[in-house]
């Protein structure tokens, strides 16, 4: 079912609905405005209908983590029509998914700039129908919208379209659309670092209005506990059993979970085990996480949770297997770092009041920072992400695209 806006755009651009790239056919657009003029012109450079159309097309293509093929193909086709070569890496094969990370390099002048957004979405994402009303894009209510992170992708596509069709100055751009960000940052983690030369950049993957610059994000450890009890008939000989669920419950009850302080959180998110109500359960598996903006606090919390589970299992006579895996590292960008400084200047020149904020979530920016690419995560206006109430303002979509065009101009202008 088409929204009113989508129908209008399709009528207006019947020949090429994909990405609304019909603007590309217009003649006489090769202008080279001076850098100083871009501020005044940037508002009119962004084509709201084209951007919205692009976003809706992306949102309505299902792309669960590991199943990004359709979106990757849509992007490859659209970027190809912009005259850009797209490289797809082998992260899909290595992760068991059906698409790899997409990498696009656009020659320019100055220091290379990385821009990244992820192609996958959380569920429910089957049959997304985007609806536009009163300047807000929502799903039909039975799925997520997928603005996390297709709003970021759409803004990057709009920026590329504007830079190319208006022949505007920009630095060498390294665009990465990752797979499998949700649930583990696997795509970014599998991306070959040799494909990137940029030393700074941005992921477009944070809540918060345009103008939000996430400069700090936590590290995360994954904890997996397997509690080993002993099976017995629950009615005939319970005294011969060791109840793994009971031991696990004691361990979890002894843990401090939730928000522990400003920097640190902890969670047990999955528990599974047992076979039947008349069998003393012999195995329970628990999965959880710890996060902190301060690595030593995360390490301490992980140790306390492990000790709580060890003590409970010992008290119950149960065995315990434990795995602790560092999923990603924290980052903390200084206000004078290149990505923060460039974004601050660009946003202020657009009349925004930027905000430097910490986040409790991980993103591909954690991976890039861990590899020496100073990478801030920008707020793109997505709201209530990971729920079926997810939505985004059209005006925020437009504002993010404006910010990107301004950042490109700023970066090409030799700002250091
Ligand atoms: Zn995201």
The residues assigned a catalytic role are 120, 181
pLDDT band at 39 (very low <50, low <70, confident <90, very high): low
CA of 118 to the centre of ligand 1 (A): 7
Instruction: Specify the residue for token string 């119950």.
Output: 316
CA of 16 to the centre of ligand 1 (A): 29
The pTM assigned to this predicted structure is 0.85
CA of 317 to the centre of ligand 1 (A): 42
Kindly tell me if the per-residue pLDDT of 33 is higher than 90. Answer: no
CA of 163 to the centre of ligand 1 (A): 25
pLDDT band at 324 (very low <50, low <70, confident <90, very high): very high
- pLDDT tens-digit profile of 270-323? 999 999 999 999 999 999 999 999 999 999 999 999 999 999 999 999 999 999
- pLDDT tens-digit profile of 99-123? 999 999 999 999 999 999 999 999 9
CA of 242 to the centre of ligand 1 (A): 42
Residue-averaged pLDDT of the chain: 90
Among 182, 177, 183, 188, CA closest to 121: 182
pLDDT at 37: 57
pLDDT at 188: 97
Kindly tell me if the per-residue pLDDT of 14 is higher than 70. Answer: no
Kindly tell me if the per-residue pLDDT of 164 is higher than 60. Answer: yes
CA of 179 to the centre of ligand 1 (A): 11
Kindly tell me if the per-residue pLDDT of 25 is higher than 70. Answer: no
pLDDT at 413: 79
pLDDT at 184: 87
Assess contact for 241 and 234: CB atoms under 8 A.
yes
> Residue ranges per domain, the chain?
4-217+330-412, 219-327
CA of 336 to the centre of ligand 1 (A): 26
Kindly tell me if the per-residue pLDDT of 186 is higher than 50. Answer: yes
Kindly tell me if the per-residue pLDDT of 355 is higher than 80. Answer: yes
CA of 372 to the centre of ligand 1 (A): 21
CA of 325 to the centre of ligand 1 (A): 21
CA of 244 to the centre of ligand 1 (A): 36
Cβ atoms within 10 Å, residue 378: 29
- Span 87-97, average pLDDT: 97
Note residues around ion ligand 1 (Cβ under 5 angstroms): 148-149, 205
In CATH, what is the architecture of 219-327? 2-Layer Sandwich (3.30)
Kindly tell me if the per-residue pLDDT of 31 is higher than 80. Answer: no
Which CATH superfamily includes the segment(s) 4-217+330-412? Zn peptidases (3.40.630.10)
Percent of the chain with pLDDT over 90: 87
Distance CA 298, CA 296 (A): 5
């Amino acid at each position: 079912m088409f929204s009113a806006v989508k129908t209008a755009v399709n009528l207006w651009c019947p020949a090429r609905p994909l990405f609304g790239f019909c603007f590309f056919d217009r003649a006489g657009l090769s202008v080279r405005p001076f850098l100083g003029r871009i501020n005044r012109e940037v508002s009119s450079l962004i084509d709201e209908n084209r951007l919205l159309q692009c976003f809706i097309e992306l949102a309505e293509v299902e792309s669960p983590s590991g199943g990004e093929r359709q979106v990757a193909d849509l992007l490859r086709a659209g970027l190809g029509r912009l005259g850009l070569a797209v490289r797809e890496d082998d992260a899909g094969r290595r992760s068991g998914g059906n698409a790899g990370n997409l990498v696009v390099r656009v020659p320019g002048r100055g220091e290379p700039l990385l821009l990244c957004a992820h192609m996958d979405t959380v569920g429910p994402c089957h049959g997304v129908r985007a609806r536009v009303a009163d300047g807000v894009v929502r799903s039909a209510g039975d799925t997520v919208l997928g603005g996390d992170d297709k709003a970021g992708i759409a803004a990057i596509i709009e920026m590329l379209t504007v830079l190319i069709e208006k022949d505007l100055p920009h630095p060498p751009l390294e665009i990465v659309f990752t797979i499998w960000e949700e649930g583990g940052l696997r795509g970014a983690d599998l991306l070959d670092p040799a494909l990137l030369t940029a030393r700074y950049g941005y992921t477009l993957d944070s809540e918060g209005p345009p103008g939000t610059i996430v400069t700090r994000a936590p590290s995360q450890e994954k904890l997996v506990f397997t509690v080993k009890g002993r099976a017995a008939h629950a009615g005939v000989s319970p005294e011969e059993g060791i109840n793994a669920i009971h031991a696990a419950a004691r361990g979890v009850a002894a843990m401090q979970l939730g928000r522990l302080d400003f920097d640190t959180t902890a969670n047990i998110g999955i528990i599974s085990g047992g076979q039947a109500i008349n069998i003393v359960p012999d195995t329970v598996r628990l999965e959880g996480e710890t996060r902190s903006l301060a690595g030593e606090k995360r390490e301490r919390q992980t140790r306390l949770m492990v000790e709580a589970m060890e003590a409970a299992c010992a008290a119950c006579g149960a065995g315990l297997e434990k795995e602790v895996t560092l999923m990603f590292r924290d980052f903390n960008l200084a206000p004078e770092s290149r990505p923060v400084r460039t974004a601050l200047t660009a946003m202020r020149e657009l009349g925004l009041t930027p905000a430097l904020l910490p986040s409790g979530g991980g993103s591909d920016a954690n991976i890039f920072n861990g590899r020496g690419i100073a990478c801030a995560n920008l707020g793109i206006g997505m709201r209530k992400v990971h729920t079926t109430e997810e939505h985004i303002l059209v005006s925020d979509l437009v504002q993010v695209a404006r910010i990107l065009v301004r950042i490109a101009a700023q970066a090409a202008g030799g700002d250091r």
